């Protein structure tokens, strides 16, 4: 900050409207420069951190951190800018951003891919298994010390991190490309007391480990990387308190890990707040059968995170765990799950529904091999949405097939109480040749990706309550090549499917989907498309240059 700012301070009432507008303009200019400076700083510190790690040194350099803080102290001494501890916390946050960037350094990096997919002929392929059930059955096998072979699991980064975390407690988990295996231990229980468990960077791993630890007395520490170091633990701390445990942050300058949990092991009931991240109630429900008294979970009406619990509740009941359903909650009784030695994991409804949508945009049929969970609470909703988009769906015990039918005159897609189906519904609505509407309580205008999609497809969106009506805009100039960032893995996959009808969009964060389903882009290039496109540089200048580590984009 410039010292000259000190002379310009005046009570807000003294400013005229023109001066206030001038200050706002100045703030916007400063904000742009500030953002650019922070980004450059993050890149530089990230490169330094990655270089240290390649040299087998700790990523964070304490001496460099001290030097950086001295620079801030010198700047702060020129005026009264509040307690230094707030600025030190801010500096620690910006350092953590760089460390999180360096955590991604080991991932395979790509130049911008220019892909204009041409649909292959009718295809058959194995679909991805249910991502969350793969986590749950792995967790149960290790926590309950059961012999288990999980074939064709959704083997992504989150599952591998969970396996590594459980093995730090003495589990006998191993994996390869085809299966996750748990071998029964001679000594029964997992050892958590006084352990320090490294969790990686997935919230599901933190949630499951935290939920497991609160079911027994003792002290355990958690460390992590990337997102978990930046994650606000406040809502997690509140739940721990209700369950007779205390979660302490160990780094006063960052909001997330590392942290220490002190648990009395007497957890028996918890009231879930409406704004709670879905991972924590989901993990508490998964760990509840191992609690000495079981666990009673209650929640308010319109509990959004409850959408993510339905499949898990069904899995508990089918695994011989007594569950009492309450008006607004559940009581899970203390009885460890009983799972087969080779549990069958069904297809993932959200991912496979997006795969089936390929048929709508390619005009070819697609058969996804695997067991569609017909009896799962929300699985039929995905089928209803696909059929509302004019697809003919048939299934048996081993596969599900989508065949393109005639588009309805007025496409109506209802995703109320099923947020994860929103990307699927949006691309079907935008792909419709005539009228289309989507029923969702969420205002789609709040999604940044929607602005680019509407321009790209030449549409407008009118909102009437929960109904969003999509219409062609005859006066609009469509954006022929938008740069889009997917808000989630499911959005990334939805954009990839839409590209078969609207080629040319650029996906700036393909890694989001790779983390969730590692084989997707291989399937996209070699199965869904006619031939494997070769990566092309996005411009002649980049053809001979080394790509920057952070530039990972795919042109679709």
3-class DSSP assignment, residue 125: strand
Same domain as 225, residue 182: yes
Taking only the tens place, the pLDDT of each residue in 446-470 is 678 888 898 888 888 888 888 999 9
- Average pLDDT on 419-430 reads 94
353-157-130-428 Cα dihedral, nearest 10 degrees = -10
pLDDT given at position 476: 65
377-380-385-387 Cα dihedral, nearest 10 degrees = -170
Cβ–Cβ under 8 Å, residues 333 and 360: no
At residue 307, does pLDDT exceed 90? no
Lowest mean pLDDT of 441-445, 478-482, 517-521, name the range.
478-482
- Average pLDDT on 235-241 reads 91
Gap between the Cα atoms of 279 and 214, Å rounded: 15
The CATH number given to whatever domain includes residue 499 is 3.65.10.10
Distance of alpha carbon 427 from the chain centroid: 20
Position 340 in a domain: no
- Tell me which residue range forms the domain holding 354: 349-527
Cβ–Cβ under 8 Å, residues 200 and 164: yes
Alpha carbons within 13 angstroms on the beta-carbon side of residue 415 total: 27
Position 303 in a domain: yes
At residue 67, does pLDDT exceed 60? yes
What DSSP character marks residue 546?
P
3-class DSSP assignment, residue 206: helix
pLDDT given at position 226: 78
Query: Total structural domains in the chain?
Result: 3
379: phi then psi, degrees, rounded to nearest 5? -60, -40
pLDDT given at position 554: 60
pLDDT band for position 21 (cuts 50, 70, 90): low
At residue 5, does pLDDT exceed 70? no
Taking only the tens place, the pLDDT of each residue in 176-218 is 988 999 999 877 789 999 999 999 889 999 999 999 999 999 9
Position 205 in a domain: yes
| Ranges 247-256, 342-351, 508-517, 526-535, most confident | 342-351
Position 97 in a domain: yes
Position 66 in a domain: no
Position 11 in a domain: no
Q: Residue 549: exposed, middle, or buried by beta-carbon count in 10 A (0-12, 13-18, 19+)?
A: middle
pLDDT given at position 163: 97
Same domain as 371, residue 240: no
At residue 32, does pLDDT exceed 60? yes
Same domain as 297, residue 164: yes
Same domain as 416, residue 312: no
Among the candidates 265, 297, 332, a domain finishes at: 332
Paired tokens of 104: 């991604």
Distance of alpha carbon 404 from the chain centroid: 30
At residue 49, does pLDDT exceed 50? yes
Taking only the tens place, the pLDDT of each residue in 399-412 is 999 999 999 999 99
> Shortest CA distance to 403 belongs to which of 390, 422, 385?
390
Same domain as 185, residue 94: no
- Average pLDDT on 146-162 reads 93
Which region holds residue 137: left if phi is over 0, alpha if psi is between -120 and 50, else beta? alpha
At residue 544, does pLDDT exceed 60? no
Spatial CB neighbours of 106, under 8 Å, sequence gap ≥ 6: none
Alpha carbon distances (Å) from 495 to 25, 129, 209, 316: 36, 21, 33, 34
pLDDT given at position 378: 86
- Average pLDDT on 59-67 reads 78
**How far separated are the first and last CA of the chain, in Å rounded?**
43
Distance of alpha carbon 127 from the chain centroid: 20
At residue 427, does pLDDT exceed 50? yes
Mean predicted lDDT score pLDDT of the chain = 84
Which has more confidence, 230 or 17?
Answer: 230
Same domain as 358, residue 328: no
3-class DSSP assignment, residue 430: helix
Taking only the tens place, the pLDDT of each residue in 81-124 is 766 667 777 777 788 777 777 766 554 444 444 445 666 688 99
Position 280 in a domain: yes
Same domain as 356, residue 326: no
pLDDT given at position 18: 58
pLDDT given at position 1: 42
Cβ–Cβ under 8 Å, residues 137 and 113: no
Same domain as 512, residue 423: yes
Furthest CA-CA distance within the chain: 78
Cβ–Cβ under 8 Å, residues 241 and 251: no
CB burial of 124-147 (b: ≥16 within 10 Å; e: otherwise) equals: eeebbbbbbbbbbbbbbbbbbbbe
In the chain, the percentage of residues whose pLDDT exceeds 70 is 85
> What pairing do the DSSP bridges indicate for beta strands 506-507 and 483-484?
parallel
Gap between the Cα atoms of 286 and 32, Å rounded: 45
Bridge partners for 126 per DSSP = 369
Which has more confidence, 234 or 445?
Answer: 234
Cβ–Cβ under 8 Å, residues 339 and 150: no
3-class DSSP assignment, residue 35: helix
Taking only the tens place, the pLDDT of each residue in 485-524 is 889 999 999 999 999 998 888 888 888 898 899 999 999 9
Same domain as 137, residue 102: no
| Beta strands, E only, 68-205 | 113-114, 123-126, 148-151, 173-175, 179-182, 196-198
Same domain as 293, residue 198: yes
Same domain as 380, residue 317: no
> Shortest CA distance to 492 belongs to which of 351, 387, 366, 386?
351
Position 50 in a domain: yes
Same domain as 286, residue 144: yes
pLDDT given at position 50: 78
Own/partner contacts of 531-537, CB < 8 Å, gap of 24 or more, are 531/118, 533/113, 533/114, 533/115, 533/116, 533/117, 535/110, 535/111, 535/113, 535/114, 536/111, 536/113, 536/114, 537/111, 537/112
Taking only the tens place, the pLDDT of each residue in 113-149 is 444 566 668 899 999 999 999 999 999 999 999 999 9
> What pairing do the DSSP bridges indicate for beta strands 217-223 and 196-198?
parallel
Taking only the tens place, the pLDDT of each residue in 323-346 is 999 988 999 999 999 999 999 999
Spatial CB neighbours of 19, under 8 Å, sequence gap ≥ 6: none
């Amino acid at each position: 900050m410039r010292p000259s700012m000190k002379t310009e301070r005046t009570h807000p009432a003294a400013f005229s409207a023109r001066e206030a507008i001038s200050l706002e303009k100045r703030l916007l200019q400063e904000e742009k420069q500030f953002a650019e400076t922070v980004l450059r700083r993050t890149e530089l510190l990230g490169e330094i951190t990655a270089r240290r790690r390649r040299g087998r040194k700790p990523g964070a350099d304490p001496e460099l951190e001290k030097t950086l803080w001295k620079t801030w102290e010198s700047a702060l001494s020129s005026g009264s800018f509040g307690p230094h501890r707030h600025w030190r916390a801010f500096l620690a946050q910006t350092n953590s951003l760089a460390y999180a960037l360096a955590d991604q350094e080991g991932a395979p990096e790509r130049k911008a891919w220019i892909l204009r997919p041409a649909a292959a002929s009718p295809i058959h392929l194995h679909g991805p298994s249910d991502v969350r059930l793969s986590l749950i059955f792995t967790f149960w096998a290790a926590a309950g010390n059961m012999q288990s072979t999980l074939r064709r699991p959704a083997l992504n980064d989150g599952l591998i991190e969970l396996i590594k975390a459980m093995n730090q407690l003495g589990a006998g988990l191993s994996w390869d490309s085809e299966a996750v295996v748990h071998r029964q231990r001679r000594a029964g229980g997992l050892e958590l007391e006084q352990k320090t468990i490294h969790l990686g960077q997935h919230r599901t791993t933190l949630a499951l480990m935290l939920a497991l630890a609160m079911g027994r007395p003792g002290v355990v520490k958690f460390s992590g990387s990337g997102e978990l170091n930046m994650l606000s633990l406040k809502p997690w701390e509140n739940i721990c308190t209700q369950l007779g445990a205390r979660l302490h942050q160990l780094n006063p300058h960052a909001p997330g890990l590392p942290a220490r949990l002190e648990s009395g092991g007497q957890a028996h009931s918890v009231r879930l707040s409406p704004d709670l991240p879905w991972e924590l109630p989901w993990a508490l429900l998964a760990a509840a059968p191992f609690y000495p008294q079981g666990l009673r979970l209650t929640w308010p009406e319109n509990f959004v995170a409850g959408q993510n619990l339905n499949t898990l509740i069904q899995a508990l009941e089918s695994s011989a765990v007594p569950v009492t359903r309450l008006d607004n909650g559940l009581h899970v009784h203390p009885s460890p799950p009983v799972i087969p030695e080779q549990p069958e994991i069904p297809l993932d409804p959200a991912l496979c529904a997006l795969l089936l949508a390929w048929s709508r945009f390619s005009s070819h049929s697609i058969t996804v091999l695997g067991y569609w969970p017909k009896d799962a609470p929300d699985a039929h909703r995905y089928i209803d949405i696909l059929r509302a988009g004019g697809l003919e769906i048939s299934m048996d015990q081993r596969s599900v097939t989508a065949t393109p039918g005639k588009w309805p005159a007025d496409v109506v897609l209802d995703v109320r109480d099923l947020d994860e189906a929103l990307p699927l519904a949006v691309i079907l609505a935008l792909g419709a040749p005539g009228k289309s509407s989507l029923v969702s309580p969420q205002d789609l205008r709040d999604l940044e990706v929607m602005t680019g999609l509407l321009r790209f497809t030449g549409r407008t969106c009118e909102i009437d309550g929960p109904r969003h009506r999509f219409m062609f805009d005859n006066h609009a100039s469509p954006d022929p090549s938008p740069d889009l960032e997917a808000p989630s893995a499911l959005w990334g996959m939805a954009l990839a499917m839409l590209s078969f009808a609207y080629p040319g969009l650029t996906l700036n964060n393909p890694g989001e989907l790779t983390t969730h389903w590692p084989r997707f882009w291989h399937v996209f290039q070699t199965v869904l498309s006619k031939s494997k496109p070769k990566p092309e540089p996005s411009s002649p200048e980049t053809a001979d240059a080394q790509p920057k580590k952070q530039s990972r984009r795919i042109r679709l």
